[in-house]
Amino acid sequence: MRITVMTAGEQIITLDVDSQETVENVKALLEVESNVPIQQQQLLYNGNEMGNSDKLSALGVKDDDLLMMMVSNASSGATSAAGNDLGMNPDGSALNPSAFQQHIRGDSNLMGQLFQNDPELAQVISGSDLNKLQDVLRARHRQRSVLQRQKEEELALLYADPFDVEAQKKIEAAIRQQKGIDENWEAALEHNPEGFARVIMLYVDMEVNGVPLKAFVDSGAQSTIISKSCAERCGLLRLMDQRYKGIAHGVGQSEILGRIHVAPIKIGNNFYPCSFVVLDSPNMEFLFGLDMLRKHQCTIDLKENVMTVGGGEVSVPFLQEKDIPSRFLDEERVPNDASSSGATVPSGFTEKKNNTVANPTSQQPKRQNTSEGPEFEAKIAKLVELGFSRDAVIQALRLFEGNEEQAAGFLFGG
């Protein structure tokens, strides 16, 4: 449900929360939104103070209800120390980012709310980069400041003197702008409805050294890339030249393990020589990049929905959504939430030799160091049996570094 909180400074904050959420967790969300430490918040509903352990439903709070937040500067002893430790700077960053991170991490319900309402902030909190956390907090503070100014301007116009010519001009301009946006949206629905649909990336069927694969065709990636696990499955890992090691940097990084100089790929009924960069990237199997597209004179024909090879001697159709593994579609749908540094290979990927840096033009999230062998799969299977989706289970296990009990608590709490 959605609730609105008005602060003593007349700041208006809207939150999407569960009716079974505790007041303390609501205060924690308000701390992120308003920079007011939990210890200094006093929440009122219908004039009555709300206890930290009370649930919203038990207090009668319903969808679209209004709460008041009073700010108290009184603090002493340990409470004062904790408040200072979890306080916020004027620019929106945390006074003690490590303490702030641990405080939010320690509450599985609150983390669940953040994953629903602000996935980017939740990912940063679950990571290890405190500088990135501070940057995101500052960005959120700037966004709130802009929205607050806009609301104040709208309220000022609402109560403006009807005979104030300048105010009436601003109201007229605002109406025209909103009308233009609405008309543009309606026109897009009528003439360009596909613009609101998800775009499926380009995949074709190939065989690498006799092993069938779904190949991601990406003309924006400089090199053709294969993951270590896929290379091993195709029997090519023994050919990897480790002199071509390096690092692919994005948001986080992915290790370049080496290069396979030549191996056969089958497109349609024809065989072609191909070279690969090998990445330590478990969630990406095989990417057919610009180097091989150029070498084999490939054409991406979106009108006919095919890729031609060898100047037209072979033509293979791009796969429909139903033929693409769901894990690939999930990565495309939420690329910013991908938990692996190689989940989506960046366009503009540049390979460098001898431990120098690869330079992608787009960036990828960094995954936590979590062992994901048979034991990890067994934990996934147990939690999936409880009724949770595989993606949610994997995310929870990575968040709690493979701890099955904490992940289960998080999933039930969320």
Residues 6+ apart with CB under 8 A from 228: 237, 257, 278, 279, 280, 281, 282
Strands 357-358 and 246-250: parallel
E strand or H helix at 250: strand 246-250
E strand or H helix at 143: helix 130-158
- Distance in angstroms (rounded) separating the CA atoms of residues 196 and 190: 11
Q: Which of 161, 218, 280, 301 is catalytic?
A: 218
Between vectors from CA 2 to CA 132 and to CA 196, what angle results, nearest 5°? 70
Residue 218 designated active-site: yes
Residue entry with tokens 């894990």: 327
Amino acid at 25: N
Q: Where are the alpha helices (DSSP H) in 89-129?
A: 97-105, 108-117, 119-126
Q: Where are the alpha helices (DSSP H) in 241-342?
A: 290-295, 326-333
How distant, in Å, are the alpha carbons of 226, 362, 373 from that of 133? Answer: 32, 20, 29
- Distance in angstroms (rounded) separating the CA atoms of residues 16 and 354: 50
Which residues have a catalytic role annotated?
Answer: 218
